[in-house]
Structure 1
Amino acid sequence: MKFAAIDIGSNGARMQISSVLHDEDNIRFKKVEYVRFPLRLGHDVFTEGRISSYSEDRMMKLMLTYQLLMELHEIDDHMACATSAMREAENGHEVRDRIEGRTGIHIQIIDGQKEAELVNNVVVKSLDDGQYLHIDVGGGSTELNLYLDKKKMNARSFKLGSVRLLEGKESKGAWKKMQEWIMDNVDRSRPIQAVGTGGNINKLFDLSSKLTESSTSLEEIARTHQYIADFTLEERIHKLQLNPDRADVILPAGDIYLSAMKWAGVETIHVPDVGLKDGILQVLYERACRRKKK
């Protein structure tokens, strides 16, 4: 079986095509194609409230490209999900319908709760027993999820994101609300670790010194964040070789991760390199299994 997962975020859109590998009782997804493009829909939506005709045209071309790639790979099924920017755009559903009419790709505009659920389904597999704060920072929103012994205890979505902060359009009082939620929900009598998902924490982790293959410390993330901040935007692109759409958002995203970790009293963060696309692939596999049983 071969599936395509499409994630249309506020900063970039990505498609991953993966084949399913069976290993005894376990299944694994092997990546066979991955295409990411910096649509930056959040720039339009968080400043003007709607998706511009220019951005819609670029999005249409990208979805046509994805459509062709899915045909070439002869996939069995696909799912496309759009998050914060599309759900807040006053013309989000109109744009979605026009794209579907031309490409045949149905885009589900999902809320923060559904977004968190899809990511959590794959994140939980990387957890051990204990208390974890899962921090997922996107372009338009941040999802926080609190786990105890692999069971989700609470969750909340906040209108804080890397593109939203870059544009100076964060929701009023969002920082305070996030701090209060953490202070109210974290059990201070128990040790806590963080789990970070999102492209920016992956890049911060790549540039940092590791404690293990998939973890590092709050101190090291803070050091790496400051190291990047000491470069100009142009230097981040040319000397650190960050993509332009990563170079400008990595610092505001880092502020969110660091603030959440400090408020929770976290000293260690795990970065499993999974995200919404991985949750979508899991849903597609489960859907295919249900169809086979019928």
Structure 2
Amino acid sequence: MILAAIDIGSNAVRLQVSRPITYDGITIFKKLQYIRFPLRLGTDVFENRQIGDQKFREFITLMHAFKAMIDLYQVDEYYACATSAMREAENGNALLQAVKASCGLDINIISGDLEAELINRVIAFNLQQDEQYLHIDVGGGSTELTLYHGGQKVVSNSFPIGTVRLLKKSEHAGTWDEMLQWIMNHKGKEVPLTAIGTGGNIRKLYELTNKEKGKYIGLKKLEEELEILKNMNYDQRVVNLQLNEDRADVIIPASEIYITIMKKAGAKKIMVPDVGLKDGIISFLYDKNTLEK
């Protein structure tokens, strides 16, 4: 069985092709292909509510390339989903219809709740039964928060706060207050809370702050890294830290989102598992196919 996931985010678009391998009762997902393309649909959408003509054409070209990879790998099933930018784009459905007519690729615009649910499928493996966790997934257009207690999901919500949105200064008034109040309303006070971070920026922050393998970044270390990033200009972040050009600007607002949430939740450290929406999609497809059989 070969499965594929397409994650159409506000900052980048990703394709992952994986083969499930089961041995001795344990299933792993062997990554056969991974492509990340920095299309940044949110730049257009969060400013003009539309995907502009140039990105409209580029997106169709990119989907042709992804469809060709899916065909070359003889993928048994794929799932393509679009998140915050496509949800808000007034011409989002028109673009997806154009892709379908052009190369036959089916794309689903998913809600923030479903986005969180798919990611949570691969987060649960990292949880200890006696701890409380707040999962923070920061994207280009939205932040998904999920609270876990006793190894089980308690509550989740999606907020229109994201890295590209903050760069464009297009977040809605009061949204920060709403998100922080949500945290205070739902986090338990009797058990210490550990944050779990997903998204490309927190993984890059993990690489920058950890010279040895481990699972966590301390809040203090994260704050120190943010100050280092702020004291470097864009070109220095690209050259000195070897950040991708589409990472070098959004990593600062991403850091601010993670730090602000952790402080409000009282989390002193954040776990950084190497999983994301694409992995949740692969897990969903695998369960769907194995349960059907």
Q: TM-score, normalised by structure 1?
A: 0.97
Partner of 1:255: 256
Q: Which residue of 1 aligns with 2:7?
A: 7
Matches within 5 A, 1:231-246: 231-246=232-247
Cα displacement (A) at 1:154: 1.1
Partner of 2:92: 92
State the partner residue of 2:42: 42
Paired amino acid for 1:289: T
CA contact (8 A) 1:211 1:217 kept: no
Distance (whole Å) between structure 1 residues aligned to residue 102 and residue 114 of structure 2: 26
Residues 202, 273 of structure 1: 8 Å contact kept: yes
* Superimposed CA distance per residue, residues 168-212 of structure 1 (whole angstroms, 9 cap, x where no aligned partner): 001211111111111111112211100000000000111003786
Q: What is the alpha-carbon distance in structure 2 between the residues aligned to residue 51 and residue 261 of structure 1? A: 33
1:204–1:225 contact (8 Å) kept in structure 2: no
Q: Let me know the Cα RMSD of the aligned residues.
A: 1.1
1:148-187 paired onto structure 2 within 5 Å: 148-187=149-188
1:65-80 pair list within 5 angstroms: 65-80=65-80
Q: Does 2:135 correspond to 1:142?
A: no
CA distance in 2, matches of 1:211, 1:179: 33
Find the residue that maps to 2:273 and give its secondary structure. Answer: coil
Which blocks of at least 5 consecutive residues in structure 2 are unaligned? Answer: none
Unaligned runs of 5+ in 1: none
C-alpha distance in structure 2 between counterparts of 1:203 and 1:225, whole Å: 12
Partner of residue 32, structure 2: 32
CA apart distance, 1:273: 1.3
C-alpha deviations, 1:250-281, integer Å up to 9, x for none? Answer: 00011100000000110111000111000100
Matched residue SS, 1:22: strand
Q: Deviations over 1:221-255 (max 9, x none)?
A: 11112111111001111111111100010000111
Output the CA distance in 1 between the equivalents of 2:224 and 2:32.
Answer: 35
In the aligned structure 1, how far is the partner of 2:46 from the partner of 2:155? 27
Amino acid at match of 1:245: D
SS in 2 for 1:98: helix
Contact 1:7 1:276 in 2 (8 A): yes
AA aligned opposite 2:171: E
SS state of the match for residue 147, structure 2?
A: strand
Q: 1:57-72 maps to which residues of 2 (within 5 A)?
A: 57-72=57-72
Aligned to 1:223: 224
**1-side partners of 2:254 and 2:188: how far apart?**
25
Once residues 237 and 166 of structure 1 are traced to their aligned partners in structure 2, the CA distance between those partners, rounded to angstroms, is 17
Amino acid at match of 2:280: G
Give a deviation string over 1:79-124, Cα, whole Å, max 9, x none. Answer: 1000000010011111111101111111110010000000001111
Report the more deviating stretch, 111-120 or 99-108.
Answer: 99-108
Tell me if structure 2 keeps the 8 A contact 1:209–1:220: no
